[in-house]
Structure formats: structure tokens, C-alpha cells
Structure 1
Amino acid sequence: MCDENWSTHWMTYEDADTDRGIVHDVCNGIRLITDTGVGDPVETVALSIAGAEAAEALAQALEGEWALYTPGQVTATASAVFSQLEGVLANLRALNTTLSRMEARRETAFTGAARERVEHAAAAVEFACGFAPAAISELQSLPQLLELPADAHELLTAVAGLLGPDAELRTFHGVGAYQEDDSGFGCGCEVLITHDGEVWSLHRGDSEWTMTRENDGKPQPDGSTTYASWIELTPTPTTSHPQHLAAEIRRALALPPQR
């Protein structure tokens, strides 16, 4: 079995997940079962399928250019993946024990060959699992050369600079007076982007980065403006990579790539 010390990295990242609580949101469905204890085969099979779907989805996610920003995020992800590998090892051997119990209860028979195959697979996984500590140690030693924005305002400022002269940062608070809005609407500042003679507003709304076209706004009697349509961008965190958000804006507006 692997040394358990390496596995604390993904646990630490989960504890520090204070931006949107996405780790807890994704895991809550599984915890509905595990917190009360798995009690029947339906729940057991459900957990196995959930794990398979998560692994498949992760493989697809990691294909994206902006899947991860920092070596620390790579380390947390690798730690979780190796932890899954250790889980696979334990599960394969538990499956063999389950087959033995089923044969003893006369619910099946002649499980020897099947259990031997599963044990061979478990041995291969155990060999691969042994590389985890050294791999995580190497990842931990990688330098982080990127400093991500600390808040929504820093991200807006950086994106405005990346988009060039056609983008203007409009600030609605004084220097040093910035405070994140707990409702998910940032500080109220925006970036105005001129494209094909039209002006678009990039702003924070309902914990999402959103773009609206100024000409689509409908003034209301109370002085506010409403929009019937808007563009929701990825990524959503306030500490996202500025180049990632800028790339999504360019894609949404079909702007040429940054040079």
C-alpha cells in the first residue's frame, strides 16, 4: 500500500475551498450515502458508477487548456488521482472477498479463476500506486511563477489590460475602498468592450462573469436597467486566470486571438 502522507494534499485543498464551495457541492450526492453508511447493493453499485463517471469526466476536463492554473492545483489533483488508485486497489481486493462470501453462501460457484484475474489486476495497481509518494514530492517542488488575482476587482483590471484599447475599466469605488459583495455581485465595477460599433459590459453578477450588450438594456422607472439576454462566461471564480477569462470573452465576441 502507498504511504498515506501524500494523500493529505487533496484533503487540504478541500478544506481551503472557500470560493464557491464547489468541492462540497460536487461531493454532496455521494455523501448522502456515505454519511449514513452504505446499506444495500443498490447503494454499493451507485457508488461504483459515480466513481467511474467522475474519473471519466476528470479525464475530459484535463484535456482543456485552462483545466488547472498552478502547480499547487496540479499537486492537489494528482494527489486525489493517486488516492483513487489506492481506492481501486482496496476495492479490487474487497471484490474478491465479496466473491468468496457469495460462493460460501451458495449464491454462485467456481469463483477461483475470476478471483485470480482480479488479484492479478490488483497487483498491477499496487505496483503503480507505489509511485505516488515520489510523484507528489516532485510536483510539490515545482515553482509557482503565476500570481492569480486576489479578488474580482484585480481580475477585472487585468482583463481590461489584456483586451487592449477597445476595453475600458469603469470603477465605481475609490482607491482602497474595494470590498467583495457577499451576494456574488463583486464590487460593481465593469469593463466596457467596444466591438463592431457596439459596447458590451463585462461584470460580476450572481457569482458569474457576465456580458451584456448596452443597446439591449431597458431602462426602468427606478433608474435601473434590465436585460432580456446575456452571456455567461467560464470560468466563474473571482480568482481565475485573467488570460482564461479574456480568452472566453474573445471567443464569445469572435475577436481575433491575442498576439
Structure 2
Amino acid sequence: MDQSGRHDDRAPEAAHAPGAAGPDGVVALARTAARTTDTLAASLQDDWALYTPGQAAAVAAELFAQTASVARALHGLAGVLTAMTGPDGPARADDHRAGAGDSARAHDAGRYDTAYEAGRYDANRYDARADAVRHLATAAEELAYTLRHAPPATAALRDAPPARALPLNAHETLAGVAALLGEDAVLNQRHRPGDYVIVGESPDGYGCGCDVDFRHAGEEWNFHRSDSAWSLVRVSDGIPAADGTLAYTRFTDLTVTDETAHPAHVAAQIGAALSRLVREPVQGGWREPEPPPARR
């Protein structure tokens, strides 16, 4: 386990392959890492991004690990800048990351630090790279210092009990959603109580086969598990089949897909979907509903 509180399973040989990616590859890696972190940050703006403190602990551990990696990367970048001597590239690629380098360059960096602290910095006399190295190293050290918060934060989250028990399978999720959709909601149970014993995701993605009927805005709606998705249909859109059942060609699939999703999360998404599908009065007229997409 590393300083961030998570297990470090990276391959050592990959972490120490000098110049393996090349300049273009290194820049691409940095951009990819930034985009990935931005995506995670955007995902965490959703109140339903995580359900339990244990899940938050896992994300926190990875974020602290990422912070440690960023600190190492900043130190590495400072080392690369220190080693740059011109068109011939690094003078001593084997030791510049350990703080070494040719004595003239080290002497110049020392003269820069003395002049900077005395307020006599001359941009024309001293290499601007020394300024960048100083700031990069300081940033790396400050980031590394924040890692002291990792063990207590992740430990506290792992020890915190969840606010409520989560569903074990699709049937428990449907039952929980039905309880949140109002008094008129009916859970249509398609199996005997206790017969559905699958824990987690069902092998075929269709769950237990049960569904929920409910009323909203004067219309009948049905909520069910379809092909690896939670789906909402308007009953009046159903096409009668020969066996008396209704067939549907248009569905509204929720963005949450887990069979063990938090029932309140699922109910919130149903409410959001209904607000798009139902014709409602607004100032100056009516907001027309969006037609549900056809199932491909």
C-alpha cells in the first residue's frame, strides 16, 4: 500500500522506463490525464455519483494516489528542465532527476537563487528555466505534503456506516422505486416471493421480470427492466398483441443502468424523464413533450 492509502500495483519496469514515450507521447499522456481528471470532477458534481461512504473511500484513495503521481511528475518535469542544455539534449540522463547535473549549471542555479532572494533577479542574466524549476519543485513538495490527509480521510470513510441498505438485486430496486412513486404505484410481481435469489446483476440483464405501474399527469405509465437498462413507457403507446399483452416500440431508458441502483436515484431519474415527456403548462402557453426515442 502506498502513501495515499491504496495498493500500488503499477509495473516497476514501466514506471522507470527512461524516455519510453518520447516528447509527443509525454505531452499526450499529460493531456489525457488532465481530461480524465476533468471528467471525474464533472461526474462528482452529481449528487448521486456515489451511494456509500465506502465508495467515497475508494475514490478518495485513488485521488490521493493521483496527487502523489502528480507530485512525482512535477519533480520529474523539474529534473527534465534541469537537464536541458540545448540542442544536444540532457547532459547526464542517468542522474539529473536525483538533483545532479554539471557543476556550471548547478552553480548558475545557485547564483539565481541568491539573486532572486535578494531581489536582484536579472531576466537577461539568469536562465528562466531556473525559475520554472524552483516553482515546479515547490508545487511538488506542497502537493506531497497534502498526502498526510490520505490515511485518516480514507479510514474514516471506510469505517462510516451507509445511510441505508442498498438493494441486493433488481427486484429489491423495483420494490424500493414502487414505494417512492406514490400510493397508486403497483409492483407487479412476476415470480413467487423469495424465488428470485440472484445477488447483483442478472446474467441476461433483464432482472427479475417484475415491473411497476403508476399514474402521472392523468396517464398510466409502466417502469420495468429491459435489456440491461431501466425503461419507462407510456401505457397508451402500447400496441395490443394477440396474447392480450402490450408491445412497445418506444422507450425512455434512464441513464442509471445498475440493477442495484439506489431506489431514490432511480425515482429521481423517472421524475426527470416524466418532466420531459408530459405536456405541462408554462408561462405563455404549453411546454410540448419530447417524443421518446424508438428502440433500435
Give the TM-score range, shorter chain. 0.7 to 0.9
The aligned residue for residue 109 of structure 2 is none
The aligned residue for residue 72 of structure 2 is 90
Q: Give the structure with higher Rg (CA).
A: 2
Q: 1:142-157 alignment to 2 at 5 Å? A: 142-157=160-175
- 8 Å contact kept, 1:156–1:190: yes
* Cα deviations by residue, 1:185-219 (Å, 9 ceiling, x for unpaired): 11211111212332211111221111011221234
Instruction: Give 1:137's aligned amino acid.
Output: A
Rounded Cα–Cα distance in structure 1 between residues aligned with 2:244 and 2:87: 75
Alignment equivalent of 1:129, drawn from 133, 147, 154: 147
Name the SS for the 2:84 alignment partner: helix
What is the RMSD of the two structures over their aligned residues, measured on CA atoms? Answer: 2.9
The aligned residue for residue 189 of structure 2 is 171
Instruction: Give 1:74's aligned amino acid.
Output: A
Higher helix share goes to which structure?
1
Instruction: Give 2:254's aligned amino acid.
Output: L
Structure 1 runs not aligned, ≥5 long: 12-33
Name the SS for the 2:182 alignment partner: helix
The aligned residue for residue 211 of structure 1 is 232
Rounded Cα–Cα distance in structure 2 between residues aligned with 1:182 and 1:225: 25
Rounded Cα–Cα distance in structure 1 between residues aligned with 2:247 and 2:23: 51
Rounded Cα–Cα distance in structure 1 between residues aligned with 2:148 and 2:163: 30
Name the SS for the 1:144 alignment partner: coil
Q: Does 1:54 align with 2:48?
A: no
**Cα separation, partners in 2 of 1:220 and 1:40, compared to 1, 3 Å:** farther
Of 145-154 and 194-203, deviating more is 194-203
- 8 Å contact kept, 1:166–1:195: no
- 8 Å contact kept, 2:206–2:227: yes
Rounded Cα–Cα distance in structure 2 between residues aligned with 1:175 and 1:77: 37
Instruction: Give 1:39's aligned amino acid.
Output: A
* Cα deviations by residue, 1:24-45 (Å, 9 ceiling, x for unpaired): xxxxxxxxxx8xx853333322
Rounded Cα–Cα distance in structure 2 between residues aligned with 1:164 and 1:81: 40
Name the SS for the 1:124 alignment partner: helix
* TM norm structure 1: 0.78
The aligned residue for residue 231 of structure 1 is 252
Of 216-225 and 177-186, deviating more is 216-225
The aligned residue for residue 5 of structure 2 is 6
After TM superposition, give the deviation of residue 3 of structure 1 in Å.
Answer: 4.7
Q: Does 1:73 align with 2:36?
A: no
Rounded Cα–Cα distance in structure 1 between residues aligned with 2:30 and 2:4: 25
- 8 Å contact kept, 2:224–2:230: yes
- 8 Å contact kept, 2:4–2:64: no
- 8 Å contact kept, 2:3–2:147: no
- 8 Å contact kept, 1:86–1:129: yes
The aligned residue for residue 241 of structure 1 is 262
* Cα deviations by residue, 1:25-69 (Å, 9 ceiling, x for unpaired): xxxxxxxxx8xx853333322221222112222222222221211
After TM superposition, give the deviation of residue 251 of structure 1 in Å.
Answer: 2.1
Instruction: Give 1:67's aligned amino acid.
Output: A
Rounded Cα–Cα distance in structure 1 between residues aligned with 2:145 and 2:44: 24
Instruction: Work out the percentage of aligned pairs sharing the same amino acid.
Output: 37
**Cα separation, partners in 2 of 1:40 and 1:222, compared to 1, 3 Å:** farther
The aligned residue for residue 141 of structure 1 is 159
Of 82-91 and 157-166, deviating more is 157-166
**Cα separation, partners in 2 of 1:196 and 1:137, compared to 1, 3 Å:** closer
After TM superposition, give the deviation of residue 178 of structure 1 in Å.
Answer: 1.4
Structure 2 runs not aligned, ≥5 long: 91-104, 106-126, 279-296
Instruction: Give 1:183's aligned amino acid.
Output: D
Rounded Cα–Cα distance in structure 2 between residues aligned with 1:52 and 1:222: 55
The aligned residue for residue 15 of structure 1 is none
After TM superposition, give the deviation of residue 132 of structure 1 in Å.
Answer: 1.2
